[in-house]
Amino acid sequence: MAHPSLRAAFQGGGFVLAPGVYDMISARIADQAGFDALYVTGYGISASYLGLPDAGLASYTDMVGRVAQIAQGTGTPVIADADTGYGGLLNVAHTVRGYEAAGVTAIQLEDQVFPKKCGHTPGRRVIPTAEMVRKLQVAQEARMSEDFLIIARTDSRTALGLDEALRRAEAYAAAGADLIFVESPESVDELKAVAARIDKPLVANMVSGGLTPVLPAEELQQIGYALVIHPGLGFLAAGEALRRSYGELRATGAVKQQPMHDFDAFCRSMGFEDVWEFDRRWAEPTDQAAE
């Protein structure tokens, strides 16, 4: 069930910072960190689950299963990437219902041509504005609860320019999207231009090495953004840690003092305390005489 806290936060002019999660390890660790929301990244799911690039290769079935695991295995409201809605209008309705049933609180839909591509890579193409407006209208009709939020993303900036991206953002806001996401502005001035033009809660996507300047959350809030996501933070950090650790083991045959999560603390993060308590309560007596 969608959590009402996000709608209340955005309606009240609040600010939400959400880390990207892509599997149950990242989700449980982020859940315990005290964020107001978690962002399930399509790039991270495609990479971690399928070992494939974020290029429209992960299906609705691939995504909704992983999203459901994360939403049901954490206590923090979940915002989930749903690409283009995985097809036409009927697919969008099916996607919205499936993600809402999975326990998601906000769904992100984008105006790329299917199959889509990662928003900070080249070669992205977009559908006509009117077609995306219809998708957003279908999404609103399909949801069961008003607390289930619709995020409308436009990927038009890179190929068609900022003015077209702003025109689309205005159209998507007028169509009733709850939040507006202009993907990959290319400067601080462009981030400010979006905030000055669009009168809806705005999403800023912070991707290390991407097209948009990575700014502190406080500065983005001052500019006028309501939701800041860091979708790549988890898998980029994990990927570098794995590269170093595996490389060292292969080169030296030993494990030195690489920065690592404490094993006991990791066990507790994954829920072993519940297992230990269960074992204490239900352990078979070992000192009873055989009957």
Task: Kindly report, residue by residue over 160-185, the tens digit of the pLDDT.
Answer: 999 999 999 999 999 999 999 999 99
Taking 80 as the threshold, does the pLDDT of residue 290 lie above it?
A: no
Single-letter residue type at 213: P
Note the pLDDT of residue 119.
58
> Distance between CA atoms of 121 and 123, rounded to whole angstroms?
7
Domains of the chain and any CATH numbers: 4-231 (3.20.20.60), 240-282 (no CATH)
Single-letter residue type at 159: A
Structure tokens at 211: 């097209």
> Distance between CA atoms of 134 and 227, rounded to whole angstroms?
24
Q: Are 128 and 171 in contact (CB under 8 A)?
A: no
Q: What is the pTM (predicted TM-score) of this model?
A: 0.91
Structure tokens at 267: 């066990």
Single-letter residue type at 87: G
Residue with tokens 């500065």: 219
Note the pLDDT of residue 20.
98
